[in-house]
Amino acid sequence: MSLDAIQDVIRDVPDFPKPGILFKDITPLLADGQLFREAVRALSDPWRDAGLKAVAGIDARGFIFSAAVAFDLGVGLVPIRKKGKLPWQTIEAAYALEYGSATLELHRDAVQPGDKVLLVDDLLATGGTAAAAAELLFQIGADVVESAFLIELGELSGRARLTRCPVRSLIRF
Ligand code: AMP
């Protein structure tokens, strides 16, 4: 496992998308097949043969990792999308971002009550996005076994907002 190598390829982009934001660019990691696979496996590994029903991924960079983790584990994929993108009956949760605000939606029938679901996103910053996503999953009765992130920005204390499930990140800045 080369978490150090994964950390090393993540590129800092200052003042994107707004002044004052240090954006963590994951595209160099995605471009490296071996490191991308190692990152996906590190997210998946604790959950092999754990009886998961699905991995839930957060729009949009979260889809990249959640889809790969779901494939790796052989379980379903549940998209949690920005408002207006899901075609069926939805529930929604509004939240504030490190930059801006948004609303997430989830299909009402995405999983059944009691189903074990792993929530995945690329990055945990203030925690607003992941807390809203977890809340939607809890509302439809999912058993959220963990919120897993490639990157955690520790000084923003996002994990403090995820009180109802364990939180794990591969890399902390
Ligand atoms: P937050 O709700 O503050 O935890 O923000 C997390 C979401 O915003 C994730 O979906 C990230 O993709 C994105 N995000 C927030 N801050 C950054 C950052 N500094 N670099 C890259 N993505 C970020």
- The pLDDT value given to residue 2: 86
Neighbours of 107 (CB within 10 A): 18
- The pLDDT value given to residue 96: 87
**Has residue 36 been placed in a domain?**
no
Residue 98 is a catalytic residue: yes
Residue 132 sits in which domain range?
Answer: 47-172
For residue 127 and ligand 1, the question of a CB distance below 6 A is answered with: yes
For residue 129 and ligand 1, the question of a CB distance below 6 A is answered with: yes
**Has residue 13 been placed in a domain?**
no
Under DSSP, the state recorded for 158 is G
**Has residue 12 been placed in a domain?**
no
**Has residue 167 been placed in a domain?**
yes
Domain count within the chain:
1
Q: Report how far residue 51's alpha carbon sits from residue 53's, in angstroms, rounded to the nearest whole number.
A: 6
Catalytic residue among 37, 41, 81, 98: 98
Q: Residue 144's domain is classified under what CATH number?
A: 3.40.50.2020
How far is the centre of ligand 1, averaged over its atoms, from the C-alpha of 91 (Å)? 22
What are the 10-residue block averages of pLDDT along the chain, 173 residues in total? 93 95 97 98 98 98 98 98 98 84 96 98 96 98 98 97 97 98
**Has residue 22 been placed in a domain?**
no
Catalytic residue among 61, 92, 135, 168: 61
Under DSSP, the state recorded for 140 is T
